[in-house]
Amino acid sequence: MNTPASLDRPGRLALEDGSVFHGTAFGAVNRSIAQAAEVVFNTAMSGYQEALTDPSYWGQILVMTAPLIGNTGVNEEDVESVKVQASGFVVRELSRVVSSFRATTDLSDYLAKNGVLGLDGVDTRALTRRLRVRGVMNGIITDIPETQLSDAQLVAAAQNAPNMNGANLVPNVGCNSPLKWSETLGEWSDRLNRDTPLQSRESRRFKVLALDCGAKRNILRNLADRGCDVEVVPHDISAADIKRRFESGQADGLFISNGPGDPAAVDATIRTLRDVVGGSGKGIPTFGICLGHQLLSLALGAETYKLKFGHRGLNQPVLNLITGRVEITSQNHGFAVNPESLKKVGAEVTHINLNDHTVAGFAHPDRLMFAVQHHPEASPGPHDAGYLFDAFVQMMTDRKPLGLVGLRERVGAIGPVSVR
């Protein structure tokens, strides 16, 4: 499969610090697009389709550090949401040839259908170095000619774009009404070299209530693959509604998903979780991933802060304090939890990012709760942390707080899984 022939429309990316990167536009070209957003980079060598459709990238221009992107095309299965979530896409070289038996279209056509502009031929190494040294910043991507929109005007537009700090972006990506999720990992489940899932050894199916802050589909697939009946609900569901569902037997576990934006700005969900995980609600088995990890921390009274350039990629090393093993994980976030504030509220750090020693996971010794900053569902990425879904099932089974010691005793033996 070959990509469309000529991609000869000039494009530009301007950053708020005044730098301008030139390239060739692809995707939604000839539409006079000028999209402002936070510019971030991803260090993965594969999985660009999953990254583009990850709701956590909503409101961001995504830069891939791998030099060649698009060579496996796009298919209908490897998507994490209903559409492309990134505001723009920047690559060093767009592959002109697509070679994969699973591909149904090429990357340029896919972006065009989703109304997203891409920029090819950019020195992404220089761009990434600038973002690492100066920190992520707002930028604007466009295919509007310089005669109509100057570099200075682009830079000014980037400087005036809304800041990610204080931005509640969850309402843009979460569901508006409850829905049932039943899709499992399918044939991919058979390729995982793991023990029989804990759920299959139980006489009953656990019902999981999943708060949708921008959930990736593969997270929901992993829950369903463990035999859980998953109901996805809006992020602003009330605490009273959550408690009613648990008291009536409509739910056995609570899951809080990944999502975009500043966690401290998601006020409604934080208030709900504060009520649910405290007082009479502390007996509800709860598991959070990425933004869910941050929201649970804030609900307990801990603090979050913005990282200089975040963690985005599928090669992030994390030390598992439960097993003493190093796990290679998939991550996508720009905020982190303050470890000292976690300790003050009685939580225990269970995982640490080895690149910068930020918190990558925590559990509470007195409450049925644990969370991780990374993505155990991978997609894309390694499956080292997939056992955490089994840990959630274990917690719903035992109905006991795990904590650091409990996790080591009851879950540590599960260990990471590998792909055959």
pLDDT in the model for residue 409: 56
> Distance from first CA to last CA of the chain, Å, rounded?
29
Active site residue 38: no
DSSP string of 41-91? Answer: EE--SS-HHHHHT-GGGTTEEEEE-SSEE-TT-B-SSS-SSSS---SEEE-
Q: What is the CATH number of domain 10-159?
A: 3.50.30.20
Each of the 420 residues of the chain gets a pLDDT tens digit; together they read 554 444 689 999 999 999 999 999 999 999 989 999 999 999 999 999 999 999 999 999 999 999 999 999 999 999 999 999 999 999 999 999 999 999 999 999 999 999 999 999 999 999 999 999 999 999 999 999 999 999 999 999 999 999 999 999 999 999 999 999 999 988 776 555 454 444 444 456 899 999 999 999 999 999 999 999 999 999 999 999 999 999 999 999 999 999 999 999 999 999 999 999 875 556 899 999 999 999 999 999 999 999 999 999 999 999 999 889 999 999 999 999 999 999 999 999 999 999 999 999 999 988 899 999 999 998 888 889 999 999 999 899 988 776 555 555 554 444 443 322
> What is residue 204's predicted lDDT score, i.e. its pLDDT?
62
Whether 377 is catalytic is yes
Q: Would you tell me how many other CB atoms lie within 10 Å of the CB of residue 20?
A: 17
Contacts 24+ apart (CB under 8 A), 338-343: 338/302, 338/303, 338/304, 338/305, 341/297, 341/301, 341/302, 341/303, 342/297, 342/300, 342/302
In whole angstroms, what is the distance from residue 385 CA to residue 105 CA? 32
CATH 3.50.30.20 domain position(s) in the chain: 10-159
CA nearest neighbour of 374 among 393, 364, 361, 383: 361
Q: What is the pLDDT of residue 187?
A: 72
Q: Which of 38, 290, 327, 364 is catalytic?
A: 290
Query: Catalytic residue among 16, 38, 348, 377, which?
Result: 377
If residue 331 lies in a helix (H) or strand (E), which one and from where to where? strand 326-337
Dihedral angle computed from the Cα positions of residues 160, 162, 164 and 168, in that order, rounded to the nearest 10 degrees: 180
How many other C-beta atoms are found inside a 10 Å radius of the C-beta of residue 305? 13
Ramachandran class of 324: left when φ > 0, alpha when ψ lies in -120 to 50, beta otherwise: left
**List of residues 6+ apart from 55 with CB closer than 8 A:** 80, 81, 85, 173, 174, 214, 215, 216, 258, 259, 260
Residues of the chain with CATH 3.40.50.880: 170-419
- The superfamily in CATH containing domain 170-419 is Class I glutamine amidotransferase (GATase) domain (3.40.50.880)
Residue position matching structure tokens 């997270």: 219
Q: Do 346 and 360 contact (CB within 8 A), yes or no?
A: no
Per-residue DSSP letter, 105 = B
The dihedral through the CA atoms of 220, 170, 374, 292 has a sign that is negative
Active site residue 290: yes
**From 333, 351, 364, 375, the catalytic residue:** 375
At residue 308, the pLDDT reads 97
Residues in the chain, total: 420
Instruction: Give the pairing type, strands 369-372 and 229-234.
Output: unpaired
Indicate the pTM of the whole model. 0.92
Closest to 227 in 3D by CA, of 248, 252, 245: 252
In the numeric block, which tokens belong to residue 246?
């648990």
Neighbours of 246 (CB within 10 A): 20
Q: State the sign of the Cα–Cα–Cα–Cα dihedral 227, 228, 229, 233.
A: negative
